[in-house]
């Protein structure tokens, strides 16, 4: 015997659906406004107007203005946490796992450029716990890449190196796609970008005897200099390298 509150579509479900709906209205509108104006020059009344709701309604669904910022950034943290491990799963080779994880990371940065920028720009406006959340997620994701770097070093695929620094470099270079988009966006696709950076970093690390095996990750002239270059250009869809 189902009670009224446990029926599918009952009041709780309606309320939860409304909360989810209103929150996404608020978050999407906030992302648009913050992309243009930043956190500080976005007023809550402008946000309400953009979302098509009243100021009081905003406060029914978020605690305060900083909460809005946090919700926008949490979207990207969730995407990292989901998409990066997923891209790496089912792949046995550490270097291939690294490549898949890094390219996926770049893809998330591309899809959430505003959130990436906000995480850098507005870290001062986050609460302690909000900032801690951002940082610990980054450490966690960096750790996934570092683990593969370590495995590749142990397998002799990569030369010995400071893998923690390399992992941080990769994450930072992924962020560069958003932070320096004024410089990069008109020059290449995010996929070409990710492959170029991966090739550059790995090119300095890879054991000489492994270059041919991973030539598809290096994307720099190697033994098959001319063909690899022509192939890379085709893949980038005309992006200049």
**Binding footprint of its own copies on the chain (CB under 8 A):** 37-38, 40-41, 120-125, 135, 159-162, 164-166, 168-169, 172-173, 176, 179-180, 182-184, 187, 196-197, 199-205, 208, 220-221, 229, 240-241
Question: Which position among 8, 9, 56, 238 is part of the footprint of DNA (CB under 7 A)?
Answer: 56
What residues contact 215, with CB distance under 8 A and at least 6 apart? Answer: 222, 223, 224, 228
What residues contact 207, with CB distance under 8 A and at least 6 apart? Answer: 156, 157, 158, 159
Residue with the two structure tokens 């997620």: 137
Do residues 202 and 159 make contact, with C-beta atoms less than 8 angstroms apart? no
Q: Taking contact as CB under 7 A, which single stretch among the options 53-61, 149-157, 180-188, 193-201 is the one that binds DNA?
A: 53-61
Tell me which of DNA, its own copies, none is bound by residue 202, counting a contact when its beta carbon lies within the kind-specific cut-off of 5 to 8 angstroms.
its own copies
Q: Taking contact as CB under 7 A, which single stretch among the options 64-72, 103-111, 156-164, 195-203 is the one that binds DNA?
A: 64-72
Distance CA 22, CA 37 (A): 22
In the complex, minimum distance from the CB of residue 59 to DNA, in angstroms, rounded to a whole number: 4
86 binds DNA (CB under 7 A): no
Report, in angstroms and rounded to the nearest whole number, the Rg of the chain calculated over CA atoms. Answer: 22
Tell me which of DNA, its own copies, none is bound by residue 172, counting a contact when its beta carbon lies within the kind-specific cut-off of 5 to 8 angstroms.
its own copies
Do residues 143 and 84 make contact, with C-beta atoms less than 8 angstroms apart? no
Do residues 148 and 95 make contact, with C-beta atoms less than 8 angstroms apart? yes
Q: Which residues, 9 to 38, sit near DNA by CB under 7 A?
A: 15, 18, 22
DSSP-derived secondary structure letter, 38: T
In the complex, minimum distance from the CB of residue 201 to its own copies, in angstroms, rounded to a whole number: 7
Q: In terms of CB distance, is 48 or 153 closer to DNA? A: 48
């Amino acid at each position: 015997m189902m009670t009224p509150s446990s029926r599918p579509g009952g009041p709780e479900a309606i309320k939860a659906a409304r909360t989810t709906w209103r929150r996404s209205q608020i978050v999407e509108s906030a992302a648009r406004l913050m992309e243009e104006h930043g956190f500080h020059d976005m007023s809550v009344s402008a946000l309400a107007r953009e979302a098509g709701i009243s100021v009081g309604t905003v406060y029914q669904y978020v605690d305060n203005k900083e909460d809005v910022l946090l919700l926008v950034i949490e979207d990207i943290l969730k995407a990292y946490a989901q998409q990066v491990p997923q891209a790496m799963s089912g792949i046995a080779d550490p270097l291939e796992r690294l490549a898949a994880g890094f390219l996926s990371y770049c893809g998330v940065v591309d899809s959430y450029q505003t959130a990436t920028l906000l995480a850098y720009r507005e870290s001062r406006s986050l609460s302690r716990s909000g900032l801690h959340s951002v940082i610990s997620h980054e450490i966690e994701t960096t750790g996934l890449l570092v683990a593969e770097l370590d495995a590749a070093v142990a397998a002799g695929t990569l030369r010995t190196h400071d893998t923690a620094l390399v992992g941080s470099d990769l994450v930072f270079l992924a962020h560069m796609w958003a932070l320096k988009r004024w410089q990069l966006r008109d020059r290449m696709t995010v996929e070409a970008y990710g492959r170029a950076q991966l090739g550059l970093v790995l090119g300095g690390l890879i054991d000489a005897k492994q270059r041919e095996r991973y030539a598809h990750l290096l994307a720099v002239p190697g033994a098959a200099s001319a063909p690899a270059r022509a192939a890379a250009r085709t893949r980038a869809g005309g992006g200049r390298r």
